[in-house]
Amino acid sequence: MLSEVRLALAAQQETANTASQAELDVDKKRMRALAAWTGLTLTTPNPVPYGAEIVHSKTGESLMRATNAVRKEHDPSAHAEVRTMRLACGKLNASSLSGYTLYTTCEPCPMCMACALWAGLDRVVYGATIADAARFGLQILIPAAEVAKRTDIKCVVVGPVERDICFALFTNPSMQKAFKTWNSGRP
């Protein structure tokens, strides 16, 4: 009897690991695609390493994606995650994004993570860490998972996923030149 229970538990654990690995494989694929899409900005006059996409959690259908536009829009809240959530909510004509997952090339700052919580997102999956981003500019160094832990709103935070690929957006020569301008205080 005990061996049957152990076998059943082992089978459940194996299924859970397989499901987790399958989900991680999907997350990696989506993050690579998002990083490639965000990387397209590196050849423009306004390069940014921050991109975000919202997908349906069950079907994987893309709802919306956007990049950071703080400098372009002269709006300190125009982070990629917030812009993507605003656009997605507008498209759905709703304030809830329950049933959706946010992918972002960099760990959300506290403002963006709070917005993700208020929007009711199921999951937030990030690439580079907030500590990675802090190497190139000012950041509020509170991890997204810490923000999520301090609320009763449920949202799973996963990351870093494909960190090296997302971090490469920050180290691209075009982006390094932009960071020098951003950090100098010039428009």
Asked if the model's pLDDT at residue 185 lies above 60, the reply is: yes
Asked if the model's pLDDT at residue 121 lies above 60, the reply is: yes
Q: Which two tokens stand for residue 167?
A: 């971090």
Say how far residue 117 (Cα) sits from the centre of its chain.
Answer: 13
Strands 62-67 and 100-106: unpaired
- Digit-coded pLDDT (tens) for 122-172: 999 999 999 999 999 999 999 999 999 999 999 999 999 999 999 999 999
- Digit-coded pLDDT (tens) for 96-110: 999 999 999 999 999
Mean pLDDT computed over 11-29: 68
Residues 6+ apart with CB under 8 A from 105: 31, 34, 35, 38, 49, 50, 51, 52, 80, 126, 127, 128, 166, 169
pLDDT at 104: 98
pLDDT at 171: 98
Sign of the dihedral through C-alpha 80, 81, 85, 86: negative
Which residues are 66's β-sheet partners? 52
81 is catalytic: yes
- Digit-coded pLDDT (tens) for 47-90: 999 999 999 999 999 999 999 999 999 999 999 999 999 999 99
Active-site entry in 14, 23, 73, 81 = 81
